């Protein structure tokens, strides 16, 4: 198991990136990348971080960056992207017990409709179909996928292809995979697919330990959108969050968050909507004074 405390430093701060926490991991294909961390590992990692570091919130990082109270040595923040229900029912009780602040970045369509991301749509279809042939634009000829290892490699290659191709609509790509695998509907897995309701988002927002931020409306890569679509994604997500929790929303994180997923144009659009900080998903630690829209995170997997 990775020693996440080894990332902490005297003059740096670390932002950890998580998605979900589940009670037991029974999904070798779908959860191959440990997007959802088993509860015992999650608890052990957080307890270790609390023993050797100083937990801070994303608002504290922003105010320290703007010249207010400096951050303590070995500072770290915990963040969750997307809005899986298990962050409310499984992760939040551990965070409360440890008195550990956390920031939750929500994709508002996921909350509105309990909708799956394109990644989860594809992962789901590949897991439930025991053996299948699939034709892909980046592989010569159809191939057979019939073992967990082949399926995991397939999922990894699809992610890489879709995320690096601005011309591809990720949801149309997921629909095409469903068509080829003859998957018509998704039977959501209660642990991996359930998203928070607005009521549960409000319950997190009402807890002073927690900060709520945006993470787009549909989880499309912001840099790949036209100026009009970009404005629509950001405005829709923030209007829904602001009206549902009745609090100012100043924090955001970029869907996918890699270097090709955001830009000065995306940052300017977020700033024009009142956002003060948006960490990336690029790997690394940060120093005070770093650009609040280019902060790096360490993925916990
Ligand atoms: Zn995300």
Q: Which pLDDT score is estimated for 71?
A: 96
Q: Which pLDDT score is estimated for 11?
A: 93
Distance 17 CA to ligand 1 centre (A): 10
Banded model confidence at residue 76, pLDDT cuts 50, 70, 90: very high
What proportion of the chain, given as a percentage, has pLDDT over 70? 100
Distance 162 CA to ligand 1 centre (A): 14
Distance 218 CA to ligand 1 centre (A): 10
Note the pLDDT tens digit of each residue in 207-243: 999 999 999 999 999 999 999 999 999 999 999 999 9
- 188, part of any domain: no
What pTM was estimated for this model as a whole?
0.95
- 157, part of any domain: yes
Distance 19 CA to ligand 1 centre (A): 8
Distance 181 CA to ligand 1 centre (A): 25
Show which of 181, 204, 230 is a domain's final residue: 181
Are residue 86 and residue 109 in the same domain, yes or no? yes
Q: Which pLDDT score is estimated for 248?
A: 94
Q: Which pLDDT score is estimated for 229?
A: 97
More reliable by pLDDT, 188 or 213: 213
Q: Which pLDDT score is estimated for 140?
A: 86
Are residue 14 and residue 101 in the same domain, yes or no? yes
Are residue 76 and residue 209 in the same domain, yes or no? yes
Note the pLDDT tens digit of each residue in 27-52: 888 998 899 999 999 999 999 999 99
Residues with CB under 5 A from ligand 1 (ion): 81-82, 255
Note the pLDDT tens digit of each residue in 105-152: 999 999 999 999 999 999 999 999 999 999 999 988 889 999 999 999
Distance 164 CA to ligand 1 centre (A): 15
- 141, part of any domain: yes
Residues 6+ apart with CB under 8 A from 112: 240
Q: 93 pLDDT exceeds 90?
A: yes
- Is the distance from CB of 99 to CB of 128 less than 8 angstroms? no
Distance 69 CA to ligand 1 centre (A): 30
> What's the total number of domains in the chain?
2
Distance 47 CA to ligand 1 centre (A): 25
Q: Which of 273, 30, 265 minimizes the C-alpha distance to 129?
A: 30
Q: Which of 88, 153, 156 minimizes the C-alpha distance to 119?
A: 156
CA distance 230 to 271: 13
φ and ψ at 118, to 5 degrees? -60, -35
Q: Which pLDDT score is estimated for 1?
A: 78
Q: 18 pLDDT exceeds 90?
A: yes
Distance 220 CA to ligand 1 centre (A): 9
Q: Which pLDDT score is estimated for 207?
A: 97
Are residue 292 and residue 231 in the same domain, yes or no? yes
Q: Which pLDDT score is estimated for 94?
A: 98
Distance 140 CA to ligand 1 centre (A): 30
Note the pLDDT tens digit of each residue in 151-161: 999 999 999 99
* Mean pLDDT for the chain overall: 96
Distance 233 CA to ligand 1 centre (A): 14
Distance 80 CA to ligand 1 centre (A): 9
Mean pLDDT to the nearest integer, 265-294: 98
Q: 26 pLDDT exceeds 90?
A: no
**Residue 241 lies in domain:** 4-115+194-299
- 210, part of any domain: yes
CATH code assigned at 272 = 3.20.20.370
Banded model confidence at residue 286, pLDDT cuts 50, 70, 90: very high
Q: Which pLDDT score is estimated for 299?
A: 97
Distance 253 CA to ligand 1 centre (A): 8
Q: Which pLDDT score is estimated for 28?
A: 80
Are residue 17 and residue 83 in the same domain, yes or no? yes
- 22, part of any domain: yes
Are residue 149 and residue 103 in the same domain, yes or no? no
Distance 81 CA to ligand 1 centre (A): 5
């Amino acid at each position: 198991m990775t020693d996440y405390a080894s990332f902490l430093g005297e003059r740096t701060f670390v932002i950890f990136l998580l998605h979900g926490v589940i009670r037991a991991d029974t999904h070798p294909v779908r959860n191959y990348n440990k997007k959802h961390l088993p509860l015992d590992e999650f608890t052990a990692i957080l307890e270790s971080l609390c023993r050797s570091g100083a937990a801070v919130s994303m608002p504290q990082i922003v105010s320290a960056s703007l010249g207010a109270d400096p951050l303590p040595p070995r500072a770290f923040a915990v963040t969750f992207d997307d809005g899986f229900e298990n962050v409310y029912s499984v992760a939040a009780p551990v965070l409360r017990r440890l008195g550990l602040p956390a920031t939750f970045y929500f994709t508002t369509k996921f909350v509105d409709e309990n909708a799956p991301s394109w990644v989860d749509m594809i992962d789901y279809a590949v897991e439930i179909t025991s053996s299948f042939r699939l034709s892909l634009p980046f592989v010569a000829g159809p191939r057979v996928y019939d073992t967990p290892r082949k399926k995991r490699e397939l999922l990894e290659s699809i992610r890489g292809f879709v995320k690096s191709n601005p011309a591809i609509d990720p949801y149309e790509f997921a629909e095409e995979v469903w068509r080829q695998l003859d998957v018509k509907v998704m039977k959501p897995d209660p642990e991996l697919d359930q998203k928070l309701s607005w009521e549960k988002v409000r319950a997190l927002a009402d807890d002073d330990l927690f900060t709520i931020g945006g993470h787009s409306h549909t989880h499309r890569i912001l840099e790949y959108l036209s100026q009009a679509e970009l404005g629509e994604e950001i405005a829709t997500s923030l209007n829904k969050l602001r009206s549902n929790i009745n609090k100012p929303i100043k924090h955001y994180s970029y869907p996918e968050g890699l270097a090709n997923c955001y830009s000065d144009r995306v940052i300017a659009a977020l700033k024009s909507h009142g956002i003060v900080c948006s960490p990336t998903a690029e790997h690394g630690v940060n120093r005070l004074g770093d650009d609040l829209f280019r902060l790096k995170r360490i993925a916990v997997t």
